Amino acid sequence: MNQYLSEKEARQYSPLTLAFLGDSVYETMIRETLVKAGNIPVRKLHEQKIRLVCAGFQARAFEMLVPLLSEQELSVAKRGRNAESIPPKHADPADYRKATGLEALFGYLYLMGDRKRLEDLFQTIWNGQENFLSDEKE
């Protein structure tokens, strides 16, 4: 039995279901990268993780990835961004929608087993994090 879905099968999932999975995939990739970067106290790991998984950061990551996405990937990301959902009170609604688009894309790629593409997109986000985080301070 194939553990991965075909593109057609993955596209049949609702964007919020894809985002539900993609949230976990994205956060796991953040956590793994932070841990591999060095053995630091868990409190510091948590603080760094929080900055990188918040809706504001993910919204900027979404915007950065859009020009790099294939037509199919962009369609999934936009479906996630446009899905009807209620953002948490502390989140900017526009940022929350873009973050949901990013998470939907990560869930979609994960379901298809496209680890290489996930890693490439994640690396682009990781490489741009300092720019994102410095923009927040201004």
For residue 95, indicate whether it is catalytic.
Answer: no
Name the residue with tokens 């446009």. 82
Q: SS3 letters for 27-63?
A: HHHHHHHHHHHCCCCHHHHHHHHHHHHCHHHHHHHHH
Task: Report in angstroms the alpha-carbon separations of 13 from 16, 47, 82, 100, 106.
Answer: 8, 33, 15, 14, 13
In one-letter notation, the amino acid at residue 138 is E
Catalytic residues: 23
